[in-house]
Structures are given as structure tokens and as C-alpha cells.
Amino acid sequence: MRINQHTQLYGVIGSPVGHSLSPSMHNAAFSALQLNAVYLAFEVADLQGCLAGVRALGIRGLSVTIPHKEAVMPLLDSLDHRAACIGAVNTIVNRDGKLVGYNTDGSGALRALEDRISVAGRTCLLVGAGGAARAIGFVLKEGGASITVANRSAERGQALARFLGCSFVPLAQLPKIAADLLVQTTPVGMAPQADQCPVPEDVLRTGMTVMDIIYNPLETRLLQIARSRGCRTINGLAMFVYQGAEQFRLWTGLQPPIEEMQQAVRQALHPGATE
């Protein structure tokens, strides 16, 4: 693919974004389908100025990451119904200068979970209270799961629990809660602080399913402990790829090449590795 005046531009905005693997994933998708498009990472502090630039330059779409998922919402022209309900945006589509916000985090997480288990009727401990937790909690509730929110900050955790219409527990009290499923949505355990575990170890019981949405490293300290205690574990790679695949579909209207996207992320995490 030759970059020229017809090359379509996409990107991820956040702060920081240097660690993001979204460029590897989406550029692999563009390459697989031979699209004249590129995807870049943009370190953004001035959201309003950024979106003015998106309109002026005709940037076709953006991924939105920490800390902008909620702050970007009032700056957009319209919101998809699910994004509006969740209260967080991770995807922007530029439709002829009108910026539309979507949220694919929840659907990506649900698809990753349902590759392994059905969430209907499950009791779920949702760890964290940020934008990803809101999205995942929303779709889990839609899918028929019974949720309890746990978070380090009681104020934020209680606010999310009110939003989801569920209960809240402090992290220290997690071992008292019996659950089928634990979904970890915080950055605790992400490289380079990969030795940290965000929950007390004795909350992890044999037979529980534990999902960590972190994908770097693929096996976090939480997942290592969970596996050693007889839990089924799900890393963050599938959610990351599935949410990205849905972004790709929204931007292009095309079926995303999921295998190529997944392979690109694995290779970015482990350069030189082959499968």
C-alpha cells in the first residue's frame, strides 16, 4: 500500500498511548483487506482541539482510551444508544464531518466471555469502576448476570453500583462474596507493574471463571494465581481483538479479519514469535 492523498486516516487518542497495540492490530486489518488506510497513535490533552482537527482533516475514525472515554462525550455530534446508556465512548466514527460515539468495550468483553461460558444466570464480581467497568457491567446485566461491584474507591464503586442497580463491596470484603465469575477491569497488573494482583487471593475459588481485561502481559499475576487455585482463566487478548473488530466494522462497513488482527497483537507482544 502506497500512502498518498487518498489514504484514509484512523487513530487512537489518549494519554498515554505509547503502549497501545491498536496500531499493530488495525494496520494488520487494513493490510489483510488491502485497504488504503493507516492507523496512528495520538497523545492528546486538548480534546476539543483534537476533534476540530478530526473534522478539518477528514480523519475517518478514532479509538478513545484513558482518560478520555467519558470526557469526549459532550464534544460529539451524537451518540449510539448503547454508548449513551453506558456513559462512555471508546469509538468515534466520522460521518461526513459529524462525529458519532460508540462503545465496543462491552460487546468485546461479552463475546470473549461467551467463547468460554454463558453469562446468563451467573453471579459476577466486577472489579473496578472506570469506563471499561461501566461498559462490561452494562452488557453483563443485559446478558442476565447478577453483578456485585468492587473498587478501591468506595465513592466511584458505589456510583457504578447505583448505575447498574446492584450492590457494592470494598475490595477487602471480596472473599466474603461467593461468585461464579470475576471480571477485572483496572490497570493493576499491567506491564511494567506486572507483579501486582488487584484482589485478595482468597477470593479465587476452584471452579470460578476469572477474566482480566489486561492483555500486556497476557497472563497477569491475577490469572497466574487464579489458575493455580483451580479457576478457569481468560486473558484480555480476545476482548481487545473483538472490541477492535467491531470498531473496524463500524469504520469500514467490512467484515473484520479477526485472525490477522489477533496474530498481529500476539506478535507485537512477543516479537519474533510464530504460530
User: How far apart are the two ends of the chain, measured CA to CA in Å?
Assistant: 25
- What CA–CA distance (Å, rounded) separates 47 from 114? 35
Whether residue 246 contacts residue 82, with contact meaning beta carbons closer than 8 Å, is answered with: no
- What CA–CA distance (Å, rounded) separates 232 from 210? 6
Pick the closest to residue 13 from 97, 56, 69, 57 (CA basis): 69
SS3 108: helix
10 Å CB burial of residue 96 (0-12, 13-18, 19+) is exposed
What are the catalytic residues?
A: 69
H or E element, residue 146? strand 146-151
Whether residue 232 contacts residue 208, with contact meaning beta carbons closer than 8 Å, is answered with: yes
10 Å CB burial of residue 158 (0-12, 13-18, 19+) is middle
Cis before 192 (ω within 30): yes
- What CA–CA distance (Å, rounded) separates 252 from 61? 9
Which residues are bridge partners to 99 per DSSP? 94
